[in-house]
Amino acid sequence: MKPSGISRRDILRGFGVAGAFTILSGADAFTQEKVNKLNVRGGAIDVHHHHQPPALGVGAGGRVGRGPWTPEKTLEQMDKFGISVAILSMTQMGDVLYSGNGRMKDRVPSGAEKYLPNGLYAELRKWYFDIAHAAFPWPMAALRAFMPESQILFGTDYSPEPIESTANEIPGLKLPPEFMQKMGRGNAERLFPQFRV
C-alpha cells in the first residue's frame, strides 16, 4: 500500500533525483558548481548511468580498459560527450523490444484483459526505454517503429560500457533534429522537470 498523496511517478522521480546526486557522492563544491553550469547549457540527460563499485575494477563481464570508477572520471566523460545530468540506471534499454515484446504478448494470461483493456502493446508504449548501448541501426529501427518518440530517452550504460558505444553510433542513424532533441533532453525533462533549462 502506498502512502496517501504519493504517486508511483513521484516515487520514481525521487529515485531518479537520488541517483543523479548519488553519482556525485564525494564530489566537492567545485564539482557540483560545474555540473550546475553544464545543466544550464542544456546538454543531454543520461538516464542509464551506473556507479561501478571499486571492487569491480574493470567493466562488467571482466572487460578491461574501463579502469576504476570515480566521480571525477564520470564528470570527465560527461564533459567529453556533452552530458549535463547522469541519473543512475532507471530504465530498460530499447534493444529488448525487438525480441521481448512479442514474447510478453504470448505470455499474457487469459483474463488479463481487464488490466490491459487496449492490449499489452498499448501498455508497453506508455513505458520509457533508453538507447544505452543499443544505438545500432537494427535495435533503433525496432524501437522507433514500436515506441512513440515521447517515450525514448538517451542513455549510455556507462561505466560498464564506454559512452562511445552509444554516442558514436548516433550520427550514422541520421535522426531528425526534432527527435534528437526529444531523445537527448526533452523527454527526460518531462520526467524530471527539475533539470529543465
Helix (H, G, I), strand (E, B) or coil at 37: helix
Q: Could you identify the residue written with the cell 548516433?
A: 170
Q: What confidence tens digit (pLDDT) does each residue in 14-36 have?
A: 444 444 443 334 344 444 454 45
Q: What confidence tens digit (pLDDT) does each residue in 88-113 have?
A: 765 555 556 656 777 777 888 888 88
For the entire predicted model, the pTM comes to: 0.68
Please tell me the least confidently modeled range out of 41-55, 124-138, 156-170: 41-55
The pLDDT of residue 21 is: 41
Helix (H, G, I), strand (E, B) or coil at 128: coil
- For residue 48, the Cα-to-chain-centroid distance in whole angstroms is 3
Q: What confidence tens digit (pLDDT) does each residue in 31-81 have?
A: 445 445 445 557 888 888 776 655 555 544 455 445 566 778 888 888 888
